Amino acid sequence: MRRVRAAVAEAPGAPFTVRDAQIEDPRPYEVLVRTTAVGVCHTDLTMRDTWPRRLTPMVFGHEGAGRIEAVGAEVTGLAPGDQVCLTFASCGGCEQCAAGHPAYCHTARARNLSGGRDDGTTPLSLDGTPLHAGFFGQSSFATHAVVHERGVVKVPDGLPAAVAAPLGCGGQTGAGTVLNRLRPGPGSSLVVLGAGGVGLSALMAAVAAGCDPVVAVDPVASRRELAVELGAKAALAPGDGLVPALRDLTGGGAHHVVETTGRPEMARRAVGALRPRGALALLGLGGEVTFDVMDLLAKGVRVHGVVEGDSDPGRFIPELVGLYARGLFPIDRLVTTFPFEDIEAAVAAMRDGSVVKPVLTFT
């Protein structure tokens, strides 16, 4: 056991409180990572607000980056001192994992959203009492995390931790949706609804893939400006007349629309903005969406539900690092850093739209 500092949610919807806790040594297939940076994602906040009371107190955080301090006896390919990016958990042996789609692992819920390991245990404790953790296999709102080796991806030493952190979820979710699932051809049109961290990651990937035009939609003017700086042909506010404007900008309708807001009305607008046989990718957490089936049938629309960019992190995160190194995926443009102890300030800045991707850093 070692002492750590962790941002604890004491109850559903409660603010994060940084507290002293204890963490176990890694098991045979786990590694202990000293966290150097962790992104704050809307998913952390959504899940904190709706998390079952029986699974609190809880530590969230699922965009961790850091250095390995210790490895379990059966770990291969990783060593103390390695700089790493942390990502979601998967079993590695089910049909989906074997096919290169670990985001759809048959045991994904138990490994990522159960408040602990898949066997019900947790590596964290608080005043001698188990502290729920294992969020997306890591719970990286803490100075240290114990993570299964499958959730750890080695990255170059020179990669800034504040860049590595969001690659583990937001970066790969947006970019992977474009590059792994939609796979647009050069010159195809793509619209991104929502210019947050996920949406702008999708936009950057679309620009890198040669999509033209790429159009962003967001209510926040500063995010629309950033979208244009990152390569969007246009960036619109989601007001009246949005669908006709998008159809005009894309020459009769977009080939692809990436919907990141989780708002039902935006998903319905997305269908209207598509051209015949266009593709809609739904990424945002939300409730029920009702479509007019005739609209889908008449257009031949393909609807994709996408988790974690349908990525195999061990392959895809290094690809994103390569794109970043070549200046084609400037995810650092989205990042604003905050000290770990100021986690609630980071949350507030993300919620009011003044910051796209807050990343907490550790001294």
Same domain for 191 and 72: no
For residue range 139-181, what is the model confidence (pLDDT) as tens digits? 999 999 999 999 999 999 999 999 999 999 999 999 999 999 9
What CA–CA distance (Å, rounded) separates 316 from 241?
37
The amino acid at residue 134 is G
Same domain for 60 and 95: yes
* Residue 287 confidence (pLDDT): 82
**186: nearest Cα among 160, 211, 155:** 211
In this structure, what token pair is assigned to residue 349? Answer: 């800045």
Beta bridge partners of residue 169, listed in sequence order: none
**270: nearest Cα among 246, 240, 287:** 246
Q: What is the DSSP letter of 199?
A: H
Give Cα 263 to chain centroid, integer Å. Answer: 18
Same domain for 223 and 129: no
8 A C-beta contact, residue 57 and residue 126: yes
- Mean per-residue pLDDT for 117-139? 96
Same domain for 270 and 218: yes
* Residue 265 confidence (pLDDT): 95
The domain boundary, picked from 307, 327, 342, lies at: 307
For residue range 50-107, what is the model confidence (pLDDT) as tens digits? 999 999 999 999 999 999 999 999 999 999 999 999 999 999 999 999 999 999 999 9
What CA–CA distance (Å, rounded) separates 180 from 66?
26
Percent of the chain with pLDDT over 70: 100
219 prior amide bond cis, ω within 30: no
Same domain for 262 and 246: yes
Same domain for 296 and 252: yes
Show the domain range for 208: 171-307
CATH of the domain at 189: 3.40.50.720
* Residue 363 confidence (pLDDT): 85
Give Cα 286 to chain centroid, integer Å. Answer: 15
What CA–CA distance (Å, rounded) separates 274 from 252?
8
Total Cβ atoms within 10 A of residue 35: 27
- Mean per-residue pLDDT for 226-235? 98
The amino acid at residue 105 is C
What CA–CA distance (Å, rounded) separates 112 from 10?
19
Question: In whole angstroms, how far apart are CA 24 and each of 27, 240, 301, 308, 340?
Answer: 9, 54, 49, 28, 21
Same domain for 284 and 203: yes
What CA–CA distance (Å, rounded) separates 278 from 247?
12
Same domain for 178 and 230: yes
The domain boundary, picked from 307, 329, 349, lies at: 307
Q: What is the mean pLDDT of the chain?
A: 97
* Residue 69 confidence (pLDDT): 98
What CA–CA distance (Å, rounded) separates 360 from 337?
6
Total Cβ atoms within 10 A of residue 34: 15
**Full-model pTM:** 0.96
Total Cβ atoms within 10 A of residue 8: 25
The domain boundary, picked from 307, 322, 350, lies at: 307
Same domain for 142 and 22: yes
- The number of distinct structural domains making up the chain is 2
Q: What is the DSSP letter of 285?
A: -
For residue range 299-321, what is the model confidence (pLDDT) as tens digits? 999 999 999 999 999 999 999 99
What CA–CA distance (Å, rounded) separates 199 from 261?
9
What CA–CA distance (Å, rounded) separates 64 from 84?
9
pLDDT at residue 130 above 90?
A: yes
What CA–CA distance (Å, rounded) separates 138 from 147?
5
The residue assigned the tokens 């479509």 is 291
Higher pLDDT, 1 or 328: 328
